[in-house]
Amino acid sequence: MIALGIALAFCLVCVLFSLFHLPSIRTSRMTQIGRAISTAVETRSPFLDGMFEEISDLSEQISVEMGIGKHDRQTTKVAALLCDIGLCSVPSAILQKTEEWTAEEQALFDRHTEIGASIVKQSAILRKYSTIVQHHHTKYEVEPMTPVASRIIGVAADYVRYKRVYGASRAMTAIDRQSGIQYDPHVVNSLKELVSLQ
Amino acid sequence: MGSRVLCYVGLRPQSKQLKQHEGVSDRTLEIALAITLSLILVTVARIATGTLSWVGLTAAFCTLCFLQGRILSRSFVVQIPFFLVCAIKQPFLGLGFFAIYTVFTILAAKVTIKRLTVILSSELITYCTFAILLPKMTPELWLFSGFAYLTLRTLFSMLIASRSGWPLDVGAISGSWAFVATQAFVSTATAIFYFEKTEVTQTLWLTLTLVSLFWTFTVYLYQRAHDEFGKGVVALSNLLNYSHVYTGSHSRRVAYLARETGRRLGIPEWKLDYLVHAALLHDIGKIAVNEKILEKPGRLTDEEFAEIKKHPVTGQKIVSNLSELKVISEWIRHHHERYDGTGYPDRLDKRKIPIESHVISIIDAYDAMTGHSADGHRRLYREPVSSEEAISEIKRCTGTQFDPRITKHFIRVIEERKGKVL
């Protein structure tokens, strides 16, 4: 009986470990991998410094605002870190250029979503993010049914980028003008509420 | 009761990760846990029966033998390893079996099926539990078969064997090493109590089955989480492939040689995993370097060289995001330090440089010189030289660029591998 008791206690520990401790380890590891990847991409250009962390935080805040479930929120957060992974195959000369891009350079840059998706597909554990990565710059009016995570990331990424260049208020106007065309209006509304709260 | 043969066929899950970069394994942890668990189980069994029997001790000894053999055999990518667990009542006969058993576990990596059949057919092992471990099996299938087996065996032994008194119990174990080790213990203990005809048999059997069931499941989940992290690291190291041409296979080769060299240096197995991760990621900082500089055929200017010199620091910055690999970010930072203190970025010398950085630095230089690769991309700025020339160059630089303690081990690794294709 004592033996059985000990065994049951052991089983309970096993169950608790796999139910509560392991998932949290896995999410934190996933986030860490995402952070490492985003830092690696950021080092390619001074303009990108600390940007993905910001995008990731903003995406998470927007998804909280939109009332998205915990699991999807986690996915959004990690996907936001991975979204510009394709930039690692864009020549650093383009990324570091301060002047306006030529049409050719712009086209090379625009391919980063596709390349990113193909990179993400190579890895078994990142594969689930490939659709989100591929569609994070897709126009809302062309394809409204992209994953909600990529719509959120699309808005967050552009907002953060505009904010760095033009400042917060002009960035918001620019995003608002494209609402319904480039961006999902629900996401833009949530972003507006977030910004007005701050 | 005449003979009781317990026969188990075990299937080992295939680790895809092993293929990817020559095995980042967490077997050490598993083995340690299995030892602990077996000892606990033996203690419980002894308390429950109230006897300090020979058999009780031999069961523990058996498991330890197996694990020891496992550690000794070292080569984790074995083709058909197997182990033999004996449940013999006579202590002396039992010890004889353990001797045989230990020898075979040590030889585990080299035993062929033919020899195995000879051993199995001999009458000597009438009272034995044995297992064959086969490679190539997906984890999901393994888990499923493990559960199916446990259920069937429970039903069989509770409903049929115990009532009809059939002496035979045939089953299959599948799983990772820790699981099979635990299972081997469970069946040994079962056999012991069967022979001793104690009253607690049923309860204890149930207990052990229950424990092993939950144990397996937890180990499985843990292992999967660990594998995931390893795959993430591989994904990170692959990023370099997309910005430059050559580096992917370079870091894989460095990782492979790092494991071999580390083993020769006597670095413990759990630390080797870190070394392999470090070797995979050592050049990750080059992602920040302009690809035009890296692919430039001629000599570099001072500014260009200064940019390349930044890569260990950038690498450290990237890897320090992974809190579990904090320790390796230091090694990555120092992998271009030289033994005489003229390296970069911190100009450390001799013993101030971590030994792992030394290892990576030597292998990095060797691979940069020989520069052969499977995918046809060579280092663009220099013609590759033969392995002998590279070795003599490394010998020449020993004491100035490289640590003499490590060079001799590394050279032996290379000489042993001669003729084999990496």
Q: What is the CATH number of the domain that holds A114?
A: 1.10.3210.10
Range of the domain at A192: 40-197
At residue A104, does pLDDT exceed 80? yes
Whether B206 and B284 map to the same domain: the answer is no
- Residue B233 in domain: no
The pLDDT value recorded for residue B205 is 56
DSSP string computed for chain A: -HHHHHHHHHHHHHHHIIIIIHHHHHHHHHHHHHHHHHHHHHTT-GGGTTHHHHHHHHHHHHHHHTT--HHHHHHHHHHHHHTTGGGGGS-HHHHT--SPPPHHHHHHHHTHHHHHHHHHHHSTTTGGGHHHHHHTT--TTT-TTS-HHHHHHHHHHHHHHHHHHH-HHHHHHHHHHTBTTTB-HHHHHHHHHHHHH-
The pLDDT of residue B39 is 56
Q: How many domains would you assign to chain B?
A: 2
Q: Residue A7 carries which side chain, given as an amino acid letter?
A: A
If asked whether residues B145 and B35 sit together in one domain, one would say: yes
**What is the DSSP track for B193-252?**
HHHHT-TTHHHHHHHHHHHHHHHHHHHHHHHHHHHHHHHHHHHHHHHHHHHSSSHHHHHH
Which pLDDT value is given to residue B340?
86
Domain check: are B305 and B365 in the same one? yes
Sign, CA torsion B226/B227/B231/B237 = positive
Residues 248-307 on B with a CB inside 8 Å of A are 284-285, 287-288, 290-292
Q: Is the pLDDT of residue A193 over 60?
A: yes
Specify the residue for token string 């440089």: B353
Distance (Å, whole) CA B55 – CA B7: 19
The interface predicted TM-score (ipTM) is 0.87
- Inform me whether the pLDDT recorded for A142 exceeds 60: yes
pLDDT, tens only, A21-77: 888 888 899 999 999 999 999 988 888 888 999 999 999 999 999 999 988 999 999
Do B210 and B252 lie in one domain? The reply is: no
* CATH code of the domain containing B355: 1.10.3210.10
Cβ contacts (< 8 Å) between B324 and chain A: which residues? 29, 32
Choice between A154 and A97, residue whose per-residue pLDDT is larger: A154
Say what the pLDDT of residue B278 is: 92
Instruction: Name the residue among A22, A44, A85 with its Cβ closest to that of B288.
Output: A44
Q: What distance in Å separates the CA atoms of residue A74 and residue A181, rounded to the nearest whole number?
A: 27
In a domain, A118, yes or no: yes
Residue where a domain stops, chosen among B192, B226, B260: B226
Residue B238 lies in a domain: no
Give me the domain span that covers residue B121. 6-226
Q: What is the largest CA-CA distance in chain A?
A: 79
Residue B111 in any domain: the answer is yes
pLDDT of residue A197: 86
Domain count along chain A: 1
CA A150 to chain CA centroid, nearest Å = 7
Phi, psi (deg, nearest 5) at residue A93: -60, -40
| Chain B residues in contact with A126 (beta carbon < 8 A) | 232, 235
pLDDT in the model for residue A129: 92
* Domain co-membership, B45 together with B185: yes
Residue A130: pLDDT band (50, 70, 90) is very high
Question: Looking at residue B125, what is its pLDDT?
Answer: 32
Distances (CA, A) of B175 to B146, B149, B196: 7, 11, 29
**CB atoms A122 and B235 under 8 Å:** yes
Say if A14 falls within a structural domain.
no
Of A11-25, A172-186, B59-73, the poorest mean pLDDT is in B59-73
Residues B186, B268 within the same domain: no
Residues B36 and B125 in one domain: yes
In a domain, A149, yes or no: yes
Q: Which residues pair with B7 in a beta bridge?
A: B130, B170
Report yes or no on B55 lying in a domain. yes
Which residues of chain B fall short of a pLDDT of 70? 1-217, 219-220, 223, 245-248, 371-383, 419-422
Contact assignment for A89 to B243 by CB distance below 8 Å: yes
Whether A31 is in a domain gets the answer: no
What pLDDT shows up at residue B254?
A: 87
Q: Which amino acid is at B393?
A: E
Same domain flag for B138 and B18 = yes
User: Are B125 and B265 part of one and the same domain?
Assistant: no
- Residue B15's identity, in one-letter code, is S
Instruction: Give the number of C-alpha atoms closer than 13 A to the C-alpha of residue B308, restricted to the C-beta side.
Output: 14
CA distance B334 to B181: 40
Q: In A, which residues are within 8 Å of B317 by CB distance?
A: 39, 43
| A148 belongs to a structural domain | yes
Cβ distance B48 to A3 less than 8 Å, yes or no, reads yes
